Structure 1
């Protein structure tokens, strides 16, 4: 990866020093090191850095902030004033998955059991690992559950039934939408991929994932199919954590993660990513999402972002191979 390039060497050294959650993924995804080399860093996610900090905020009953989707007692008025909160159980679990908490660890297994016992969805009190009715939530629950070893097959079955005729998904389907959205589709695709990693998937789940990926590819990750114009300028923002939001970088990283061959239709998205690279070889964070968080994962908008840089570098490594 470094190849004697001083800028690349400094960038890798910077990433390795940030946090165990970054370090183990750098070793695996950028340096191509074997599991024996990156597993020690991954194990430290539970006890050091961001992973340990997030686990320290866990409630005794296994939840975070006393709620599945929103913190206990959080009101619509607070949502309007502060923005959507990101501190409840569903977003904590997604963050732990992205940090790389070892799903086989005692802490992870205990968390899964406690969440299953105590967490209930705000929608209608459904048990957490049974999912609810909204596709974005169900997609992330499948991703988190599959990663942490939960049987999420019934939610997967529901998501297959909820797929739109154009190949993607839309969380407004229940309100009558018959067209997909980028946001919902990426959440479901990530869930289907994690389920496939965990179980091997089925012909039906693989076909559903392929159709959803074609929905994104046909649009080059950001264009309206009808006009070819960008669907939303916010898709180009360099944003992490993305939560339920679609970004072009998130879409690129999904295709990288699946190991699929780079599709030429992603070329424009790659060019836009390259254009945002700083002279020092790093990428900046553009903005934070509004809303409560437990703590920050960066030095603020406009500053070099370890997460964005990691994601961008591994996408470009995949694209070049």
Structure 2
């Protein structure tokens, strides 16, 4: 472990509170420990103002966003996307919109009341092989997102859960490229599936097989200290050190370490010592004023911006980093 948390660094509490309800309620609950009636009242505002209300306003009458499951325009856009060389991923379609609303704390009852789960079952199909939306598809990252979104909206997604549990690689993790012949896991895919499994377990509870799958996936990342190749000990790449919000399924030391914080709190266990290097990467990125900077913006179409421009202090990243250091140092 490192030295105790340095309380000489000023936490910009009021700056964090001066934010959209989607972030503010998390500051109130997780950072300040305010009474439940306070943060719940703030969270309820996600449906009627700010980012949450704006994104809800973009929902199509058939329950989808941007007319597609993973890509705007559905199958037609998917074919164009496959024909291009490294095109930017758009972030406006149904799955990304559901991810955002769930992560922002929207009450699932809002979407249940307008029939979204049933509408998506009838009208939304995956661009891959025209598969039914709530059955998932072959990509384990997409299935992990859908597992969490379905559990949140009260949909039976046990078929997707079983597919994820059975889809582990021999090394204990996952790789979205398995259908292309990949035989070893990837950091990105493993973190995405772990996050989906944890979200599912927190919403509806898990079972022994799902918890075991989460354990082996966690061990895959911990054995590599979240940052290094197991074979050589070399860093896996500079992309792990670049922090960005929205996370959108991308991998970074911050996002990976925060997953383990959430998992440890859920499981009631102490931090694993193998997280130390990743935590120190996050600590080193904190500015003297207690803020973390958004280091880049992932390319791709969005409905609207939810964070500052690259190079500016980010409230989303600052809350995530602050919670991580308090948990780690306080243990």
TM-score, normalised on structure 2?
Answer: 0.91
Q: 1:209 aligns with which of 195, 214, 235?
A: 214
Say if 2:246 is the partner of 1:241. Answer: yes
Q: Cα gap change, 1:204/1:297 in structure 2, threshold over 3 Å: closer, same or farther?
A: same
Q: By how many angstroms is 1:77 displaced?
A: 7.5
Q: 2:285 aligns with which of 251, 276, 286?
A: 276
* Aligned counterpart, 1:302: 311
Deviates more, 1:106-115 or 1:257-266: 106-115
* Aligned counterpart, 2:3: none
Deviates more, 1:82-91 or 1:154-163: 82-91
Q: Cα gap change, 1:6/1:271 in structure 2, threshold over 3 Å: closer, same or farther?
A: closer
Is the contact made by 2:9 and 2:288 (CA closer than 8 Å) also made in structure 1? no
* Aligned counterpart, 1:69: 70
Deviates more, 1:151-160 or 1:113-122: 113-122
Matching of residues 1-321 of structure 1 within 5 Å: 7-8=10-11, 11-72=12-73, 73-74=76-77, 75-76=80-81, 80=85, 83-105=88-110, 110-258=115-263, 259=265, 260-321=269-330
In structure 2, distance between residues paired with 1:284 and 1:151:
39
Is the contact made by 1:54 and 1:294 (CA closer than 8 Å) also made in structure 2? yes
SS of 1:252's equivalent in the other structure is helix
- Say which structure, 1 or 2, has more relative contact order (CA 8 Å, 6+ apart): 2
Deviates more, 1:154-163 or 1:242-251: 242-251
Is the contact made by 2:253 and 2:281 (CA closer than 8 Å) also made in structure 1? no
Q: By how many angstroms is 1:76 displaced?
A: 2.4
Per-residue deviation, residues 206-260 of structure 1 (Å, max 9, x unmatched)? 0000000011111111110011111121011111112121111111111111214
Is the contact made by 1:221 and 1:251 (CA closer than 8 Å) also made in structure 2? yes
Structure 2: runs of 5+ lacking an equivalent = 1-5
Is the contact made by 1:143 and 1:195 (CA closer than 8 Å) also made in structure 2? yes
SS of 1:172's equivalent in the other structure is helix
Deviates more, 1:155-164 or 1:140-149: 140-149
Q: Cα gap change, 1:204/1:107 in structure 2, threshold over 3 Å: closer, same or farther?
A: closer
In structure 2, distance between residues paired with 1:243 and 1:157:
23
Q: By how many angstroms is 1:27 displaced?
A: 1.1
Task: Give the number of aligned pairs.
Answer: 317
Report the RMSD for the aligned CA atoms in angstroms.
1.9
In structure 1, distance between residues paired with 2:97 and 2:270:
32
In structure 2, distance between residues paired with 1:232 and 1:306:
26
Per-residue deviation, residues 163-212 of structure 1 (Å, max 9, x unmatched)? 01111000111122110001111111111112211232111110000000
Per-residue deviation, residues 74-94 of structure 1 (Å, max 9, x unmatched)? 222896485111111011111
Q: By how many angstroms is 1:116 displaced?
A: 2.2
In structure 1, distance between residues paired with 2:315 and 2:288:
15
Deviates more, 1:99-108 or 1:137-146: 99-108
Structure 1: runs of 5+ lacking an equivalent = none
Q: Cα gap change, 1:78/1:165 in structure 2, threshold over 3 Å: closer, same or farther?
A: closer
